[in-house]
Amino acid sequence: MPWAPANTRRQTLFWQEAQGGVTYRIPALLYLPRTHTFLAFAEQRCSIRDEDAKCLVLRRGWKHGASVKWGPIETLTAAMLPNHRTMNPCPVYEEDSGTVFLFFICVRQHVTERHQICTGRNAARLCNVASRDSGRTWSPLMDLTEQVIGEDLKKWATFAVGPGHGVQLSSGRLVIPAYTYYIHTRFCGIPVSCFTKPHSLIFYSDDRGQKWHKGKLLKGKSTVECEVAEVRDKDRGPTLHCNARTPGKCRAIAFSRDRGVVFERPSWCKELCEPPNGCQGSVVSFFPMEEPAVVDGVEGTGPDVGEKTCLARCKNTSSTTCHGATSWLVYSHPTSRHRRVNLGIYLNKTPLETRSWERPWVLYQGPCGYSDLAVCEESPPLFGCLFECGVDFPCEQIVFQLFTQQELESHGGSSSSEQQPQTKMDVEQMGQYPRQEGSPKALHLGAMGGH
């Protein structure tokens, strides 16, 4: 399992200056192709605990070739409800209008997730804000809880979106990944907490974000935080892939043929391990660019030169739009079965086969946690990864790193043996970017689902 050495494309965006103090956690990443802009979101917390989350923060980055210049940290004051904490950033980009919808939950102050599950009394609200200028300004907060969830809220002990990015499908549908703790059994009107189980689902819009709806819960296995990606096979129509955290030893994967309203029963994916209690992970799809080949005097990617032309036109986003080509999946997650260490990047070249994941390339060796991926419209594809990491703990900083398809293919698929975390000296030698003026004093980790 090779790991990535330090390089100049790794940048620290948020950091914790004092252990136990203000911390930044729960990264979400979005790339806006029109303006070549990255939006990097995170939670700001008073401490590492989920219930000490305060608000969401944002850094905007402008891509120039294979480098990104980042602006200062901005507090998203529009994304706040009085007497609530804001958690779980989940942005999605509507391409036709150039609108960013940022979903999140607002949870009543001092109410923990465990308390909601035990009492069956939900304290979360489904909210969003929107931006039409690449994240510079945001609309007033919209509380969509009653409109989208309605009467079903009585059966939801709590819920959350993401965290991580949403997607726009080839049909134009906007999709926000989510999960709920569903109350399966009550005794004398009181929920039985041992029968309150987590289930993944999606929220979606078919009218460019004007109205939102909810899909059906994934049945069977307990599935928590998830991300989705639209995949396409040459011989089939588009399929929505759901990659979900579980409390077990590996991830759960489910497919939907109707763009996410109903998913097939999830199956275990033993190739994608979970540490104890699981961890959030990220998934994106893209159309690969193959090595050039000369056929009949014409440079192409193989015997079908026309396919190369098609691939070159495709938009490498987390949803796929190119007809007649096969998309691949990229997934990020800690690679150890024992603890949250060694962030791996996994590649699947046949995404409708759940066991075809290649062995991971370790992008960061050491303590790590949540992550989010984005794909740039490049040829060949360029990827961004925003992830939690540290020297001693995974909540010390949130880092951004770019990598290419070529790097991923050249490093992946090697030995599967687990690596030990780096020493503090190893990390100090990784050439992290210096802190920028105007950055906050500290950062911190946290989110729903037992972050």
The pLDDT tens digits of the residues spanning 21-75 come to 899 999 999 999 999 999 999 999 999 999 999 999 999 999 998 899 999 999 9
Q: What percent of the chain has pLDDT over 90?
A: 73
Asked about 50 being catalytic, the answer comes back as yes
Query: So where are the chain's domains?
Result: 10-84+109-116+213-428
* Residue 119 contacts residue 189 (beta carbons within 8 Å): no
pLDDT at 291: 57
- Residue 346: φ, ψ to 5°: -105, 145
The pLDDT tens digits of the residues spanning 308-320 come to 434 333 443 455 4
Domain 10-84+109-116+213-428: give its CATH code: 2.120.10.10
Q: Flag whether pLDDT at 279 surpasses 90.
A: yes
Q: Flag whether pLDDT at 219 surpasses 70.
A: yes
* Residue 324 contacts residue 211 (beta carbons within 8 Å): no
Element (H, E) at 119: helix 113-119
Residue 43 CB: number of other CB atoms within 10 A?
33
One DSSP character per residue, 282-327 reads EEEEE---PPPEEETTEEESSS-HHHHHHHHHS--SSS---TT---
Average pLDDT score, the chain: 86
Q: What is the mean pLDDT of residues 259-287?
A: 97
Q: Which of 24, 31, 50, 346 is catalytic?
A: 50
Q: What is the mean pLDDT of residues 326-336?
A: 96
Q: Which of 182, 370, 372, 407 is catalytic?
A: 370
Helix, strand, or coil (residue 122): coil
Name residues whose C-beta falls within 8 Å of residue 139's C-beta, 6 or more positions apart in sequence: 78, 129, 130, 131
Q: Which of 271, 388, 396, 407 is catalytic?
A: 388
The pLDDT tens digits of the residues spanning 386-402 come to 999 999 999 999 999 99
Higher pLDDT, 271 or 448: 271
The pLDDT tens digits of the residues spanning 422-450 come to 433 333 333 332 333 233 323 223 334 55
Name the band, by pLDDT with cuts 50, 70 and 90, for residue 322: low
Residue type for position 72: P
